[in-house]
Structure 1
Amino acid sequence: MSATVSFPVPSPHGPRTVTLSYARVGDGEPLLLLHGIGHHRQAWDPVIHLLAGERDVVSVDLPGFGASPALPDGLRHDLPTMNAALGALCETLEIDRPHVAGNSLGGLLALEIGREKLARSVTALSPAGFWTEAERRYAFGVLQGMRAVARRTPLPLVERLSRTAAGRTVLTSTIYARPGRRSPESVVAETLALARATGFEETLRAGIGVRFADDIPDIPVTVAWGSKDRLLIPRQGVRAKQTVTRARLVRLPGCGHVPMNDDPALVARVLLDGSR
Structure 2
Amino acid sequence: MENRTSPMPEVEGVRHHHVRVRGVRLHVAEAGEGEPVVLLHGFPQHWYGWRRLIPLLSDEYRLICVDQRGFGWSDAPAKGYDTDSKVDDVLALMDELGLGRVRLIGHDWGAWTGFHLCLRAPERFTHYLALNMLHPWPLHRRLMPQSWRFWYTALLEQPLLGRWILRRRPGFTRYLMRKGVMEKAVWTPAAMNEFVRSSQEPDRARAGEALHRAFALRDIAKLVLGRYKKLRLTVPTVILAGERDFMLPPGVLADAGRHASDLRVEVVAGCGHYVHEERPELVAKTARELFTGGR
1:43–1:36 Cα change, 3 Å: same
Q: 1:105 is matched with which residue: 109, 117, 140?
A: 109
Cross-structure match for 1:251: 267
1:70–1:206 Cα change, 3 Å: same
Q: TM-score, normalised by structure 1?
A: 0.81
Instruction: Give the deviation of 1:270 after TM superposition.
Output: 1.4
Instruction: Give the deviation of 1:135 after TM superposition.
Output: 4.1
Cross-structure match for 2:208: 200
1:68–1:144 Cα change, 3 Å: farther
CA RMSD of aligned residues (A): 2.6
Is 2:62 the counterpart of 1:45?
no
1:169–1:76 Cα change, 3 Å: closer
Please say if residues 163 and 209 of structure 2, whose CA atoms lie closer than 8 Å, have aligned partners that are also in contact. no
Please give the alpha-carbon distance, in whole angstroms, between the structure 2 residues aligned to 1:270 and 1:242: 24
Instruction: Give the deviation of 1:170 after TM superposition.
Output: 5.2
1:127–1:170 Cα change, 3 Å: closer
Cross-structure match for 2:159: none
Please say if residues 174 and 231 of structure 1, whose CA atoms lie closer than 8 Å, have aligned partners that are also in contact. no
Is 2:191 the counterpart of 1:180?
no
3-state SS in 2 of match to 1:58:
strand
Instruction: Give the deviation of 1:238 after TM superposition.
Output: 2.1
Please say if residues 174 and 192 of structure 2, whose CA atoms lie closer than 8 Å, have aligned partners that are also in contact. no
3-state SS in 2 of match to 1:33:
strand
24-33 or 129-138, which deviates more: 129-138
1:42-61, Cα deviation, whole Å (9 max, x unpaired): 11111111011111100011
Instruction: Give the deviation of 1:68 after TM superposition.
Output: 1.3
1:21–1:224 Cα change, 3 Å: same
Cross-structure match for 1:216: 233
Instruction: Give the deviation of 1:255 after TM superposition.
Output: 1.5
Cross-structure match for 2:76: 70
Instruction: Give the deviation of 1:24 after TM superposition.
Output: 0.7
Cross-structure match for 1:162: none
Please say if residues 66 and 193 of structure 1, whose CA atoms lie closer than 8 Å, have aligned partners that are also in contact. yes
Aligned length: 253
Is 2:95 the counterpart of 1:79?
no
Query: Gapped runs of 5+ residues in structure 1?
Result: 10-16, 159-167
Query: Gapped runs of 5+ residues in structure 2?
Result: 1-14, 157-161
Please give the alpha-carbon distance, in whole angstroms, between the structure 1 residues aligned to 2:175 and 2:148: 22
Is 2:45 the counterpart of 1:21?
no
Q: One-letter code of the match for 1:246?
A: D
Instruction: Give the deviation of 1:242 after TM superposition.
Output: 7.4
3-state SS in 2 of match to 1:23:
strand
Please say if residues 103 and 126 of structure 1, whose CA atoms lie closer than 8 Å, have aligned partners that are also in contact. yes
Please give the alpha-carbon distance, in whole angstroms, between the structure 1 residues aligned to 2:167 and 2:257: 36
3-state SS in 2 of match to 1:223:
strand
Please give the alpha-carbon distance, in whole angstroms, between the structure 2 residues aligned to 1:179 and 1:243: 37
Please give the alpha-carbon distance, in whole angstroms, between the structure 2 residues aligned to 1:37 and 1:241: 28
1:120–1:59 Cα change, 3 Å: same
Please say if residues 149 and 246 of structure 2, whose CA atoms lie closer than 8 Å, have aligned partners that are also in contact. no
Instruction: Give the deviation of 1:173 after TM superposition.
Output: 1.9
Q: One-letter code of the match for 1:29?
A: E
Give % identity.
23
1:38–1:23 Cα change, 3 Å: same
Cross-structure match for 2:42: 36
Is 2:67 the counterpart of 1:61?
yes
